[in-house]
Structure 1
Amino acid sequence: MSGHSSSTTVGSLPDTTAESPFVPVALTWLVWSLFAASIAVLIVSVRFGVGWELPGLVAVDGLTVLMWVVVTFFSGIVHSYSRRYMAGSTHKTRFFLATFGFTTSVMALVAADHVALFGFLWVAMGLLMAELIGINEGWKQARAAAAVARKYFLASSALLGVALTALWWTTGATTVSGIGAATDTVGGPVWLIAAGALVLAAMIQSALIPFHGWLLSSMTAPTPASALMHAGFVNAGGILLARFAPVITVDSTLMLAVVALGAASAGGGKLLKSVQTDIKGKLGCSTVGQMGFMIMQAGLGFFGAAITHLVLHGFYKAYQFLSSGEQIEHATPSETTEHTIGRTTSAVGFLVALVTGLAGGVVFTVLTGKGANVDSGLLLTFFVVFTTLHAARSAIQQTSLPAPARYGAVPLVFFPAIVVYAVVYEGVSGLLTVSTATTELTLLHGVIAVGFVGIYVAIETGVHEQSQRLYVTLLNATQPSSDTLLTSKEEYNEY
């Protein structure tokens, strides 16, 4: 209306140091203290090569200490961020208690050695994450999302229970370390049940296709809870496979199946992301793909690479979620708006990418020793270089640099990234007690590699958008549970 003006009614941001209740403040300081203590333990562990254990109950090794540092750091960031994000919420104290409880359950999980304790903490971790997803009890969509997630997590826990029971039955060992030491007695149908259940439990927890529904239905969770979920919770699948690596690596056929399942989710997540329009949906589909890549690395026998990937992905995804509000842009579609997310790659751009990738492969091989022989290490090098190069090119394409400058910027971004990846991988591998289980390459490995490249090329060039049937299939696959969708803003009331 002419002459009518409106003014903002939003007050100043709260002073988190003055207005925060005791519980959020205390837990934030406590989790940062745990981070500092974890750093000290890591230094001692690296410097003196020592471990700690309560025989038959808890065993603290390199993977434990590394995960303590990573988990407490992410949790500290989330706690600090949430003191302002949750300010004024009636669920603030409960949110902080659930977040801290989740943190301590993960810390205990990676240290647990007794199979019963490990299974109990796995269940607790899932239930606490479901609590965070549905933290707003007055929002029916949040309750529905929590119910969906809880069903998946309980299914994962049941599968883990089957696996642990089968392994105890066949080995007589009641500890994770004992099971690993008795793998020479593992085999037959009981082992197959245990190994299959472990892989399925990891796939559900890491939201691999076709178990990604719970992740895409969890967008009702507060943004800091989503950051903790995507940066930490979904990584549990990789940790599970690393802990039970001696069981998984008994048979090369199973390892090949794990590679295929991981590759399907890695490529599928990329395709699902291509039809998403909202920020959190894109990030969710990206996580599906990245977790597939992590599981694929485990299937290749490089558990150190899988742990490296989950750590680096955790840093990246935590930042992406906590800064997701800044990525929202208000724009009106026009005739000049690009429809396809892909861009036609010029001959010069392709040549630059090819030369950069080959040089990057040499760098990764020199730094890690992987890729020098014709085995699964060569495939690992290929996948790491390919995905890192793709990420570098995508980052450059989002800038306003002219085309000639982009060609030069790609190697400038790519080479530091591949060096960081290789250095972190070497450091992580040095902490792990799990040995690399290199396997011979097969025809299926080659098919997976070709299919992997084909999906990325199709998306890059926009070829995948030419099929309406494929588009509809992908769009349907990205839909969350209908009960979790907010159809009217009146249905949501934080207070």
Structure 2
Amino acid sequence: MEIISICLISFISLFMLSMSLFIFGVNFLINDLVYFIEWELVSLHSSSIVMTFLFDWMSLMFMSFVLFISSLVIFYSKEYMAQDMNINRFILLVLLFVFSMMMLIISPNLISILLGWDGLGLVSYCLVIYFQNVKSYNAGMLTALSNRIGDVALLLAIAWMLNYGSWNYIFYIEIMKNDTEMMIIGCLVILAAMTKSAQIPFSSWLPAAMAAPTPVSALVHSSTLVTAGVYLLIRFNILFVDSLMGNILLLLAGLTMFMAGLGANFEFDLKKIIALSTLSQLGLMMSILAMGFPKLAFFHLLTHALFKALLFMCAGAIIHNMKNSQDIRDMGSLSYHMPFTTSCLNVANLALCGMPFLAGFYSKDLILEIVSLSYINMFSFFLYFFSTGLTVCYSFRLVYYTLTGDFNTSSLNCLNDEAWTMSKGMSGLLFMAVIGGSMLSWLIFPSPSMICLTPILKFLTLFVCILGGLLGYLISNVSLYFSNKSLSNYSSSFFMSSMWFMPNISTSGSIFYPLLLGMKVIKSFDQGWSEYFGGQKIYSSLKYFSLFNQFLQNNNLKIYLMTFVFWIIVLVTLLMVV
């Protein structure tokens, strides 16, 4: 009864708060309002410590979406985590995670951003290692250490902000753009955002974080942890438009998008395919942000959150029914056994591909048309469109393996759609994945802009999507021939499927070998030579002299006799010499 109550209370509270914030957000958007709320914590003489909150349409909308998704995730968890003895602890961790995200969203101050930023890092570690096994511990450590780099960059940015006399970055961004020295803050913030949003070369932690329970993945990979970096850069966007930093970010984000799309086409773990899909979409957001379109990046951030959370929820329901098997080769013809779940999965997949009039279409199509219209080099243009084709390719590959292919589960199975609580949680997101894109499009871009392109460029997006989908389905359909082909080119297949060796570099290269070197250094110097000639040498010498002194002070007759004999020998020797 207690389990049901904490889940239901959390669900209802977050859902009502989400609806209220959405109404406020629409009001702020229509009336172009921005509220700063300052709360004085401590005042000592002329110094005061003030907590500042920023409420504008962007922060209110984002909070509303985060709370909406987290409320449905908690509702979904009631059944998904029903066998867990510590479900209350799980729900409280999720609530703490959401609270950290709220702190990050409404902070115009780098210090309070750090509270939310580090809160996300700490709670995400606790959630990734929730299933306590070696794989989870390793994944949690990789996640925590990767994110620490960003935390350090943010701390350095806080130190640099002292040059302005305040940490409220929102007041100084215009000045910082023209200040060459203070562009360092921009570089540090970009580094922090790249670690949190898993851009190259920090990408390996995101698929590893799939060790967390599926409801956590639905929350983390849709609207909270991984989007924190994108949101921070949306706020700092003015700093790196038309600059070298912006160009580097565009290149790295484009490569991330390409690498993740390529890797997902070789992956067989259901959750990792969806995680790589998240990585690909984060690359898309970062790259359009680097080109100077923060509103567009934010629009895609919100629409992506809706269908990605739905994708993870469907994956969780399938894994639940498949007796915890995540291998897509074990699945097949699930549409016969789980019609509602597979329908939701199809809608989410089509929204991800940019199917017209679903949520993803409004943002992805607009982004690609803006890219076609912008002044951009050929390589970046290729990365945008080829990565879009790869997205549709792995989506249709997933459809083939899970929904339409051969039935590969055991004949004794419990595949059904009778998980009513999970189905209700999914249906809320299903509704938003269909209408969310159009609703946001009309709110954020009320007056339509004319994008005038040649017919080839206009149809290029559609052509790339259709070609990608056909390839994905056909290659999976004749998988025996193509798998043999991929096995004959094993080295290149392994390179592409292992995220360009990034997990090996992140673990062995940047964690294992430096730690090994550190251990050898500490053994050789701190616990070796410096001990031998330093502390231990002084200790042994003092001990020796002390023992000798104690021996002399024992007042034994033999000591006096030995001393007397010694001095007689010395005198005789001197006399003989003389």
Q: Classify the secondary structure of the residue corresponding to 2:65.
A: helix
Q: Tell me which amino acid in the other structure corresponds to 1:241.
A: L
Q: Tell me which amino acid in the other structure corresponds to 1:280.
A: K
Q: Give the aligned partner of residue 204 of structure 2.
A: 213
Q: Give the aligned partner of residue 292 of structure 2.
A: 301
Q: Give the aligned partner of residue 272 of structure 2.
A: 281
Q: Give the aligned partner of residue 411 of structure 2.
A: none
The 2-side partners of 1:331 and 1:120 are apart by 43
Residues 322-358 of structure 1 show CA distances to partners (whole Å, capped at 9, x for unaligned) of 111437666599xxxxxxxxxxxxxxxxxxxxxx9xx
Q: Classify the secondary structure of the residue corresponding to 2:172.
A: helix
Q: Tell me which amino acid in the other structure corresponds to 2:124.
A: M
Q: In the alignment, is residue 177 of structure 1 matched against residue 160 of structure 2?
A: no
The 2-side partners of 1:92 and 1:158 are apart by 33
Q: In the alignment, is residue 39 of structure 1 matched against residue 22 of structure 2?
A: yes
Compared with structure 1, are the counterparts of its residues 48 and 421 closer, same or farther at alpha carbon in structure 2 (3 Å cutoff)? Answer: closer
Q: Give the aligned partner of residue 310 of structure 2.
A: 319
Q: Give the aligned partner of residue 65 of structure 2.
A: 70
1:428 corresponds, among 426, 431, 444, to 444
- Deviation, structure 1 residue 219: 2.1
Q: In the alignment, is residue 23 of structure 1 matched against residue 6 of structure 2?
A: yes
Compared with structure 1, are the counterparts of its residues 50 and 126 closer, same or farther at alpha carbon in structure 2 (3 Å cutoff)? Answer: same
Q: Give the aligned partner of residue 194 of structure 2.
A: 203
Q: In the alignment, is residue 153 of structure 1 matched against residue 144 of structure 2?
A: no
Q: Give the aligned partner of residue 490 of structure 1.
A: none
Q: In the alignment, is residue 105 of structure 1 matched against residue 100 of structure 2?
A: yes
Q: Give the aligned partner of residue 475 of structure 1.
A: 497
- Deviation, structure 1 residue 385: 7.5
The 2-side partners of 1:170 and 1:480 are apart by 38
Q: Tell me which amino acid in the other structure corresponds to 1:95.
A: F
The 2-side partners of 1:390 and 1:271 are apart by 7
The 1-side partners of 2:390 and 2:133 are apart by 39
- Deviation, structure 1 residue 422: 8.0
Compared with structure 1, are the counterparts of its residues 458 and 22 closer, same or farther at alpha carbon in structure 2 (3 Å cutoff)? Answer: closer
The 2-side partners of 1:304 and 1:378 are apart by 24
Q: Classify the secondary structure of the residue corresponding to 1:218.
A: helix
The 1-side partners of 2:434 and 2:57 are apart by 24
Aligned residues: 401
The 1-side partners of 2:299 and 2:268 are apart by 29
Does structure 1 conserve the Cα–Cα contact (< 8 Å) formed by 2:54 and 2:108? yes
Q: Tell me which amino acid in the other structure corresponds to 1:135.
A: Y
Residues 396-429 of structure 1 show CA distances to partners (whole Å, capped at 9, x for unaligned) of 785799xxxxxxxxxxxxxxx9998687456436
Q: Give the aligned partner of residue 85 of structure 1.
A: 80
Q: Classify the secondary structure of the residue corresponding to 2:82.
A: coil
Q: Classify the secondary structure of the residue corresponding to 1:60.
A: strand
Q: Classify the secondary structure of the residue corresponding to 2:36.
A: strand
Compared with structure 1, are the counterparts of its residues 139 and 368 closer, same or farther at alpha carbon in structure 2 (3 Å cutoff)? Answer: closer
- Deviation, structure 1 residue 255: 1.3
Q: Classify the secondary structure of the residue corresponding to 2:209.
A: coil
Moved more, 275-284 or 382-391: 382-391
Q: Tell me which amino acid in the other structure corresponds to 1:109.
A: L
- Deviation, structure 1 residue 88: 2.9
- Deviation, structure 1 residue 154: 2.1
Does structure 2 conserve the Cα–Cα contact (< 8 Å) formed by 1:101 and 1:128? yes
Alignment of structure 1 residues 79-478 onto 2, 5 Å: 79-136=74-131, 138-166=132-160, 168-188=161-181, 190-191=182-183, 193-232=184-223, 233-249=225-241, 251-324=242-315, 325-326=317-318, 331=330, 370=370, 374-375=374-375, 398=399, 424=440, 427-428=443-444, 465=486, 467-477=489-499
Residues 291-347 of structure 1 show CA distances to partners (whole Å, capped at 9, x for unaligned) of 1111111111111121122212211211111111437666599xxxxxxxxxxxxxx
Does structure 2 conserve the Cα–Cα contact (< 8 Å) formed by 1:266 and 1:291? yes
Q: Give the aligned partner of residue 8 of structure 1.
A: none
Compared with structure 1, are the counterparts of its residues 207 and 300 closer, same or farther at alpha carbon in structure 2 (3 Å cutoff)? Answer: same
Q: Classify the secondary structure of the residue corresponding to 1:182.
A: helix
- Deviation, structure 1 residue 141: 3.0
Q: Classify the secondary structure of the residue corresponding to 2:266.
A: coil
The 1-side partners of 2:54 and 2:309 are apart by 28
Q: Tell me which amino acid in the other structure corresponds to 1:228.
A: L
Compared with structure 1, are the counterparts of its residues 330 and 472 closer, same or farther at alpha carbon in structure 2 (3 Å cutoff)? Answer: closer
Q: Classify the secondary structure of the residue corresponding to 1:52.
A: strand
- Deviation, structure 1 residue 146: 2.1
Moved more, 32-41 or 294-303: 32-41
Compared with structure 1, are the counterparts of its residues 370 and 150 closer, same or farther at alpha carbon in structure 2 (3 Å cutoff)? Answer: closer
Does structure 1 conserve the Cα–Cα contact (< 8 Å) formed by 2:261 and 2:390? no
The 1-side partners of 2:156 and 2:177 are apart by 20
Residues 103-135 of structure 1 show CA distances to partners (whole Å, capped at 9, x for unaligned) of 122122111122211112111122111111112
Identity of aligned residues (%): 20
The 1-side partners of 2:263 and 2:436 are apart by 28
Does structure 2 conserve the Cα–Cα contact (< 8 Å) formed by 1:130 and 1:149? yes
Q: Tell me which amino acid in the other structure corresponds to 1:159.
A: A
Q: Classify the secondary structure of the residue corresponding to 1:219.
A: helix
Does structure 2 conserve the Cα–Cα contact (< 8 Å) formed by 1:113 and 1:176? yes
- Deviation, structure 1 residue 371: 6.5
The 2-side partners of 1:474 and 1:389 are apart by 16
Compared with structure 1, are the counterparts of its residues 42 and 219 closer, same or farther at alpha carbon in structure 2 (3 Å cutoff)? Answer: same
Q: Classify the secondary structure of the residue corresponding to 2:212.
A: coil
In structure 2, runs of 5+ residues without a counterpart are 39-49, 323-327, 333-355, 405-432, 448-460, 476-481, 508-578
The 2-side partners of 1:371 and 1:419 are apart by 25
Compared with structure 1, are the counterparts of its residues 418 and 217 closer, same or farther at alpha carbon in structure 2 (3 Å cutoff)? Answer: closer
The 2-side partners of 1:88 and 1:373 are apart by 53
The 2-side partners of 1:207 and 1:181 are apart by 28
Moved more, 126-135 or 19-28: 19-28
Does structure 2 conserve the Cα–Cα contact (< 8 Å) formed by 1:170 and 1:185? no
More helix by share: 2
- Deviation, structure 1 residue 383: 7.9
Residues 245-275 of structure 1 show CA distances to partners (whole Å, capped at 9, x for unaligned) of 12222x5222111110110000000111122
The 1-side partners of 2:111 and 2:12 are apart by 31
Compared with structure 1, are the counterparts of its residues 129 and 197 closer, same or farther at alpha carbon in structure 2 (3 Å cutoff)? Answer: same
Q: Tell me which amino acid in the other structure corresponds to 2:167.
A: T
Compared with structure 1, are the counterparts of its residues 299 and 61 closer, same or farther at alpha carbon in structure 2 (3 Å cutoff)? Answer: same
Q: Classify the secondary structure of the residue corresponding to 2:498.
A: helix
The 1-side partners of 2:503 and 2:264 are apart by 14
Q: Tell me which amino acid in the other structure corresponds to 1:139.
A: N
Higher relative contact order (CA 8 A, sep 6+): 1
In structure 1, runs of 5+ residues without a counterpart are 1-17, 334-355, 402-416, 432-448, 484-495
TM-score (norm 1): 0.69
Residues 423-454 of structure 1 show CA distances to partners (whole Å, capped at 9, x for unaligned) of 745643679xxxxxxxxxxxxxxxxx9xx99x
The 1-side partners of 2:4 and 2:469 are apart by 52
The 2-side partners of 1:178 and 1:80 are apart by 40
